[in-house]
Amino acid sequence: MFCPNCGKQIGEQTSLCPHCGHSIASKKRMIVVTTPAIPGYRITNVLGVVTGLTPRTRGVLGKFVASIQSMIGGEVTAFTTELEKARAEAIDRVCEKAMALGANAIVGLDIETSDIGLQAGVTVISATGTAVVVEPE
């Protein structure tokens, strides 16, 4: 399991991240899949499309480290943690919106990454899916 705030690995039963102190609250269990159906479950109600967005940028030091890593080649680790945190945050946000509608699952989840442009260095991670109510078959 990874902390949704800092992206570092944490224990399964942890209530606070030992790295950043973020609260790992136990939330209502939400089934999230990229497929249009969930094996073993029947969709009883479709509540609509839900989206979670998170824009991210790196500070001056992070951009400097990334520019050095890009000259050498390979993975640009200066961005890996930020992108992982952004992905987790976008999924958390789409789940919160689905729960607010009364859903207990999201089907057809799609995660996309885009650049805002304007040379701002801002990356947007979006998670979009369909909020549904499911019950075991």
Q: What's the confidence (pLDDT) of residue 116? A: 75
CATH of 31-136, one of 2.70.98.70, 3.30.110.70, 3.40.50.2300, 3.40.470.10: 3.30.110.70
Could you give the percent of the chain with pLDDT greater than 70?
67
What does the domain layout of the chain look like in residue ranges? 31-136
Residue from 135, 54, 59, 60 nearest 95 by CA:
54
pLDDT tens-place string over residues 82-124: 788 888 889 999 999 999 999 999 999 999 988 876 666 678 8
Q: What's the confidence (pLDDT) of residue 51? A: 96
Sign of CA dihedral 79, 84, 87, 90: negative
Q: What's the confidence (pLDDT) of residue 74? A: 64
Q: What's the confidence (pLDDT) of residue 112? A: 94
Contacts of 82 (CB under 8 A, 6+ apart): 7, 56, 58, 62
* Whole-structure pTM value: 0.69
